Amino acid sequence: MSNQKIKCAIIGSGNIGTDLMYKLLRSDKLELTAMVGIDRNSKGLALAKEHGVKPIYNGIEGLAEEPELAEIVYEATSAKAHAYNAPILKNLGMKAVDLTPAAVGPFLVPSVNLKEEEIAELDNVNMVTCGGQATIPMVKAISDVVKVDYAEIVASIASKSAGPGTRQNIDEFTVTTAKALREVGGADESKAIITLNPAEPPILMRNTIHVQTAESADAYQEDILASLDSMLKTVQGYVKGYRFKADPVIKGNVVTVSVEVEGNGDFLPKYAGNLDIITSAAVKTGEVMAAHMTKEEAAQ
């Protein structure tokens, strides 16, 4: 049955979990069955119930009681919670798509390293951070053309889109993003910076990517611009509000690229592209996992 959907669940009922819910409800490869939380009064769990998704109020223990609910589990809690949940999910035979900075599994940025055959081998993948999903593709686009010594990114997000999880763990954002800029983006060294901006109306998520190349980037101008354009289109394949904010600047061995992300407005308004870029990447990843699982099941 080729139209068989793979069942999935979300742990975490905050901004990211709720935005993810709306996207999964539209998926033709995944069937969202449950949202797991710990706060009976959470808005996310109430919305889940409203949309026919089973709310589970007692955390991962509740999910463990009903293992038939999901083959793929999206973790949208905190790094600490996922460190606790990851082995439990593994024992339950559930694949984890982790949207926290826990990085239990390898980093995954769909436009750079999502390959169906490879992902079949993994039981836990990490979606880096919103800033990582927005910037690593651009660093990779440059490092595909010329060696990158150093990559630095500055993510600006609207204050209203940063929930308490992000605020209390802002170091995790910078450290995890910087690490993934090296491991997935292909930079030798890296730095990540985040600023929260309270302007009204709220700003769209904006990211500036500064890259230092090993040799003068001027000589590769055409190839770099073409590679950036091509990568932009690949990302737009799963995040349609992803676009250049300023013209890329190439000067000596420094390339500066600026992108903004307009969200789909599923849960928070469109300014919160930082939710969309990571939740869309996670949906895309889960769908590729599901496609492979469906094929395997059909073959058996």
Partner 1 sequence: MSNHRKVVFNDVTLRDGMHAISHQYSTEQIAELTQLIDESGVDIIEATHGDGLGGSSIQYGFSKESEEEIITTAVKNAKNAKVGVLLLPGIGTIEHLERAREWGASVVRVATHCSEADVSEQHIKKAVDLGMDTVGFLMMSHRSTPEDLLEEAKKMESYGAGTIYVVDSAGALTMDDTRRRIALFKENLSTDIGFHGHNNLSLGVANSIVALEEGANRIDTSLAGMGAGAGNTATEQLVAVMNKMEIPHSVDLYKAMDAAENVMKPMMNRPVQIDRLSLTLGYTGVYSSFLLFAERAGKEYGVDPRDILTKISEMGAVGGQEDWIIGVAQDLAKEKAHA
Binding positions for partner 1, rule: CB under 8 A? 150, 152, 154, 156, 159, 164, 167-171, 173-175, 191, 193-200, 203, 206, 208, 210, 212, 245-247, 249, 254, 256, 258
Query: 13: closest CA among 71, 72, 59?
Result: 59
Query: 67: closest CA among 49, 45, 53, 88?
Result: 88
Q: Exactly one of 16, 89, 99, 130 is catalytic; which is it? A: 130
Nearest distance from residue 284's CB to partner 1, in Å? 28
Helix, strand or coil, per DSSP, at residue 192:
strand
CB of 54 or CB of 243, closer to partner 1: 243
3-state SS record for 189-256? EEEEEEEEECCCCCCCEEEEEEEEECCCHHHHHHHHHHHHHHHHHHHHCCCCCEEEEEEEEEECCEEE
What gap in Å lies between CA 37 and CA 16, rounded to an integer? 13
CB of 166 or CB of 279, closer to partner 1: 166
Catalytic residue at 130? yes
All residues at 6 or more sequence positions from 65 whose CB lies less than 8 Å from its CB, including other chains: none
Phi, psi at 285, each rounded to 5°: -65, -45
Nearest distance from residue 51's CB to partner 1, in Å? 30
Nearest distance from residue 251's CB to partner 1, in Å? 10
CB of 51 or CB of 167, closer to partner 1: 167
Nearest distance from residue 127's CB to partner 1, in Å? 20
How many Cβ atoms are within 10 Å of 160's Cβ, its own excluded?
19
CB of 64 or CB of 158, closer to partner 1: 158
- Ramachandran assignment for 265, one of left (phi > 0), alpha (psi -120 to 50 degrees), beta (any other): left
Burial class (CB in 10 A: 0-12, 13-18, 19+), 223: middle
Q: Please identify every residue annotated as catalytic.
A: 130
